[in-house]
Structure 1
Amino acid sequence: MKLYYSKGACSLVVRILLHEIGIACEFESVNLKTKQTETGGNFLKINPKGSVPALALEGQEVLTENAVIQQYLADTYQATHLLPPVPDLRRYRVLEWLNFIAADLHKGCGPLMKPALPEEIKENVLRPVLHQKLRYLSERLDKTPYLCGEQFMLADGYLFVILSWFPALKEKWTDWPVLSRYFNPLKERPAIQKALAEEGLS
């Protein structure tokens, strides 16, 4: 199994999950601008969408889309502490948060990190929408230590990575004290520390 990733990108979530579960995996970085892998391969032949993460499985199958890869790994390796089994309602709460982070939060962050986009659009259109999402998260995390209650699950790893983009997003932790209290302890998790160190982010 091999994970195609880009340093600090959302693919970091999958690396964290691999370490949380204890799965052996190869890693190959991708230049998202040139679409070339570190070994000189054409990444578009691996994932025609050109985005990371992409997880190459045995038998030449390649799985893409962050939330789907996470669900596949948790199910395949029976990591029920991270994703409860069917028909436990908690499973669908985890998937609910995964989809919110992917579809609402993640997609809302991307444009704010594009230098070519006019600042007026960022500040007057995009950032207010992001702030709405962050307020929603703050309200949730002011009541529970993790997104789904008392236990770290898949969605928490994903949210950790999104929040790690705060400097690039020009967001101040002092404006989001609840999110800061949530984020800082997560940095101490062994799987997260290992993943950050491997990508030179620690």
Structure 2
Amino acid sequence: MKLYFAPGTCSLSPHIVLRELGLAFDLVKVDLATKTSADGADFTAINPKGYVPALQLDDGRVLTEGPAIVQYLADLKPASGLAPANGTFERYQLQEWLNFISTEIHKQFSPLFNAANPDSVKEAQKKKLAQRFQEIARTLEKQDFLTGPTFSVADAYFFTVLQWSKFFQIDLNQWPAIARFVERVGARPAVAAAVLEEAQAKKAA
């Protein structure tokens, strides 16, 4: 398998999951500005949407969109516990979290990255994020991870988008349960390895 990624983006989430599962994969860095991969190939030939992540299977098929990719990967090793079995109520609860993170956290960060947006828009977005963080904090005050006592693909995704908080002076210590979550997840060997590799890839740019 090949994971097409760009440092600092949501592709960190499937990168973490691949390492958690111990699966063999190649990382292919993508320049999102030029839409080219590290070997000079046209990335839009892999993913016409032009953004990461994209997972290319050994047979050439390509899967895009982080929440879909992480579930696919988890299902390759069901015993890992990174996703409940398909068809169970618990699986739909996992999908509920993945959808919430995608729409209410991930996409709420997007206006903050847009330099053309005025400060008033950005402050409004920060308030929206604060509301959502408060909602999630209530869950993490009762349990270590989003779906319960064990780490899942939803935690990998939430950890990933939380990394962007530091770019916009959002102090996660306002929500101690979330700050503890970041520390807890960041200490996992697979997570630390993925974060380090992407940091090194960014420096090499």
TM-score range for the pair, normalised by the shorter chain length: over 0.9
Given residue 23 of structure 1, which amino acid in structure 2 is its aligned partner? L
Alpha-carbon spacing, 1:191–1:80, altered in 2? closer, same or farther (3 Å): closer
Q: Normalising by structure 1, what TM-score?
A: 0.94
- Counterpart CA distance in 1 for 2:161 and 2:86 is 27
Q: 1:27-70 CA distances to partner (integer Å, 9 max, x unpaired)?
A: 11111111111111111111110110000112221110000001
1:156 is matched with which residue?
A: 155
Matched, 1:93 2:93: yes
| Deviating more after overlay: 174-183 vs 101-110 | 174-183
Q: Please say if 1:61 is aligned against 2:44.
A: no
- The residue identity in structure 2 corresponding to 1:35 is K
The total of aligned residue pairs comes to 200
Offset at residue 79 of structure 1 (A)? 4.3
Q: 1: CA distance between counterparts of 2:171 and 2:29? A: 29
Q: What stretches of structure 1 move > 3 A for 4+ residues in a row?
A: none
Structure 1 window deviating more from structure 2 (82-91 vs 187-196): it is 82-91
* C-alpha RMSD over aligned residues: 1.3
Q: CA deviation at 1:80?
A: 4.8
Q: Which amino acid aligns with 1:131?
A: A
CA contact (8 A) 2:10 2:161 kept: yes
Gaps of 5+ in 2: 201-205
Amino acid aligned to 1:133: R
In the alignment, the residues of structure 1 paired with residue 139 and residue 100 of structure 2 have an alpha-carbon distance, to the nearest angstrom, of 13
Partner letter of residue 171 of structure 1? I
Report the residue type matching 1:196 in the other structure: V
Deviations 1:1-29 (A, max 9, x none): 10000002100011100010010000111
Q: Which runs of 5+ in 1 are unaligned?
A: none
